[in-house]
A and B are shown apart, each in its own frame.
Chain A
Amino acid sequence: MLLSYRKLGGLRIALWAITLAVCLFLLVPIIFIAALSFGSSQWLIFPPPSWTTKWYHELFADPRWLQAAMTSAKVGLLSAALSVFLGLLASFALVRGSFPGRGILRALFLTPMVLPVIVFAVAIYALFLRIGLNGTLVGFVIAHTVLGFPFAVIAIVNSLEGFDKSIEDAAVLCGASPLQAKLKVTLPAIKLGLFSAAIFSFLISWDEVVVAIFMASPTLQTLPVRIWGALRQDLSPVIAAASTILVAFTLVVMALAALIRSRMNK
C-alpha cells in the first residue's frame, strides 16, 4: 500500500487524535443529554447538582408523550413495511428488467435521498393540502415512505444483484410457478437485504423531524415533533428524558438488527 499505517510515525498520533475528536464530537452531546435527563436542576445546569428520575416520572405521567411515541412507532412500522414492499417491486424491475430508461428510473427512485428535505416537505405539504391528507396517519406514512423508499431500494437491489437468477429458474423448472419460485426461493435468499431495508426505513421515519412537522396536527404528532414543540414552549429536563428514550430505542433497534443479521448469516 502507498500509505502504510506502520510507516506513518508521528502522524499516527495525529490520526488517533483526529479519530478521538470525531468520536467525542458525535457522542458527547448524546451523553450530555442523557446525563442532564437524570439531573435534578430545572435549568439543565451541568454538572447536575444531584441525580433524580423525576423527569422520567413526569414524562410517563403525561399521556401526550406516550401518544407521540405510539404515533412514531405506528408511522415507522407502516412506512417501513410499505417501503420494503414497494422497494421489492422496484428492485425486481431495476435488476431484472431490460426496458429503456431503466437507468433514469433508478436515479429517480433515489432522488428523495438527495433532495433537500425542506423542499420535499413543502412540496408534499402543498399536495396534501389539496387532497386533505395533512395531519392524518395516512399522510404521515406516505410522506415517510417516500423518504425511506430509496434506502429500501438500495438495500434490496444490492442483495438481488448478488442473487443468481439461475437459482430461481431452477425452482421454476422444478415445477414452481414464477410467483411461487420468488416467494419460496428468491425472497428467503435475499432476506438479509429485505431486513436491512426494513430497519433503514424504520429508523429514517423514527427520527425524521422536518417533514413530520409539516404533516403533524395538534392531535397527531410523532416523538421528534413533540420534542421540537416542547422545546419551543419551555426548556424542561423532560425533553432531555424524551430525547434519551428516543436515542435508547434507536440503539436497541440497531443492536437487535445486528444480532438478527448475524443469526441469519449462519
Chain B
Amino acid sequence: MNTMFLSIDKLRKTYGAVVAVDNVSLEVPEGEFLTFLGPSGSGKSTTLYALAGFDEPSAGDIRLRGASILSTPSHKRNIGMVFQRYTLFPHLSVHENIAFPLRVRHQSASDIAARVKAMLTLVRLEGYGARMPAHLSGGQQQRVALARALAYDPPVLLMDEPLSALDKKLREEIQIEIRRIHQETGVTILYVTHDQEEALRLSDRIAVFNHGRIEQVGTGRELYHNPATRFVAGFVGDSNFLEVADAEVRGERARITFPDGTTLANVPVHGGASASGTGELMVRPQSLRLSTDGSGLPVRVRDVTFLGDTSTVLFETAWGQEIWLRAAASQINNATPGANCHLEWNATESHWFA
C-alpha cells in the first residue's frame, strides 16, 4: 500500500481544560484542495497552525509523504502559508517580498529574478514589482502573499481565511484566481474558512469542523445531499428543521410522524441512528413545493419576500414552528399571508436526525 501524501493522525490540542482539537484524523492526497469549514472556535485554525508548526499538538502526528513533520521547526518545514491578516513585509517592495524566501534559501540572483517574474505573472500582477505593500489594495496584497508563499514550490500551501478582510465582490474574484492557481500549479492546498459558499466554490473536498472534531469529510455535493450529522445539515446549505414526534426506523429509511399527526414515509436516516424515537427532520427550502391536491403538511403563510429571481415564503406549522420555502416567483403566485395551504417534498430529499 502506498503512503498517503499528507496524513493527520489523531491530532489533539488542549489549552488547559479546553480541548481545541479533539482526535482529528485526515488523509489528503497530493494536489487536493481541501477546505476546513466550521464556525469560529471549531478547531480548524488550530489544526492548520499545527501543520505550520506554530502550535505544538498535545498528541497525535502529522506526516508528509510518510515522515512525521512535528519535530521539524516551522522555518524548515518548507510549507507555504497565506494568513488572514495582511502579512507582507512593510519595508520591502513587492519584488523583494516574493524574493525573500528565495534569498534566505541562498538562491542565485538570476534564479530569483526569473522566479519572482514567473510568480508575478501567476498572480497577474506583472509590473507591480517595484510597489511598496502600503500602496496596494487588500486584494493585491493577498495575491502578493500568495505569490510569496508559492515562490519556493512548497508541497503544501496553507490558507487561513485569506479573503475574510475583503468585500464580497473582490472575494469572489480572488476565489476564481485561487482556483485557477491551484489548477496551474497542482499544489496541495489546505484552506480554512467559515464561509460555506466559499468552501463549496473552491474545494475538491470539505472537512466540516465542530467543537474540535471533524463531523464529516466529503465533496460539497456529498455534504449537501447526504449530511452525516445535524450540524453538517445545518451548516452546509440552507435548511429547515422540523420537530418529529415519532420515527419508526426500518433499515436506512424511517417513517416519521409530525406533532400534528402528518406522516411521511421513506425518509433517509443518518448518523447511524437505528432506534426509533423523536428527533428532527431537515428539509432544504428549495425542496419544498406548494401542494395542489391538498396532501402534505398543513401550514399557514406568514410572509412572502420577493427577491427577483426567486421568492421566499415563510410558513407556520400547526404546532407553531417556522418553515421557509424558496422557489421561482411564478410557482408561488397564490401564496398570500394568512392563507392556509399544504407543503410537499420528495421524502428522499429530507433527512431525519435523532
Contact = CB atoms under 8 A, between A and B. Distances in A.
Interface of A: 164, 166-167, 169-178, 180-181, 184-185, 188-189, 191
B231 interface: no
Contacts of B73: 177
A185 B89 contact: yes
Interface in B149-193: 149, 152
Contacts of A181: 75
A170 B151 CA distance: 13
Contacts of B84: 166
Interface of B: 52, 54, 73-81, 83-91, 100-101, 104-105, 145, 148-149, 152
Nearest to A164: B85
B83 A166 contact: yes
Contact of A170 (B91, B105, B145): B145
Nearest to B80: A173
Nearest to B52: A173
Contact of B74 (A166, A173, A180, A188): A173
Given A188-B91, A189-B89, A178 B75 contact: yes
A173 B160 CA distance: 13
Contacts of A175: 75-76, 78, 101, 104-105, 152
The 9 closest A-B pairs by CB, nearest first: A174-B101, A170-B87, A188-B91, A175-B104, A167-B87, A173-B81, A166-B83, A172-B75, A166-B87
Nearest to A178: B75
Nearest to A170: B87
Nearest to A180: B104
17 contacts: A164-B85, A166-B84, A167-B88, A167-B89, A167-B90, A170-B81, A172-B75, A173-B77, A173-B80, A173-B81, A174-B75, A175-B152, A176-B75, A180-B75, A185-B89, A189-B91, A191-B91
A189 B88 CA distance: 11
Contacts of B79: 173
Nearest to B89: A185
B74 A171 contact: no
Given A170-B81, A174-B100, 14 more contacts: A169-B52, A171-B89, A172-B74, A173-B52, A173-B75, A173-B149, A174-B104, A174-B149, A174-B152, A175-B101, A176-B75, A177-B73, A180-B75, A180-B104
Nearest to A186: B89
Contacts of B87: 164, 166-167, 169-170
A229 to B, nearest CB: 46
A156 B101 CA distance: 27
B104 A166 contact: no
A221 B330 CA distance: 95
B100 to A, nearest CB: 6
A172 B152 CA distance: 13
Contacts of B152: 174-175
B83 A170 contact: yes
Contact of B85 (A166, A171, A178, A185): A166
A164 to B, nearest CB: 6
A171 B100 contact: yes
A87 to B, nearest CB: 20
Contacts of A172: 74-75
B190 to A, nearest CB: 13
A255 B275 CA distance: 82
Contacts of B85: 164, 166
Nearest to B154: A173
A37 to B, nearest CB: 44
Contacts of A166: 83-85, 87
A77 B74 CA distance: 38
Given A175-B78, A175-B101, A175-B105, A169 B54 contact: yes
Nearest to B81: A173
A261 to B, nearest CB: 15
A167 B89 CA distance: 7
A122 B6 CA distance: 65
B84 to A, nearest CB: 8
Contacts of A185: 89
Contacts of B86: 164
Contacts of A177: 73, 75
B262 to A, nearest CB: 54
Nearest to A189: B90
Contacts of B101: 174-175
B143 to A, nearest CB: 15
Given A166-B83, A169-B54, A170-B145, A176 B104 contact: yes
Contacts of B90: 167, 189
Contacts of B105: 175
Contacts of A191: 91
A188 B91 CA distance: 7
A164 B165 CA distance: 15
A167 B85 CA distance: 9
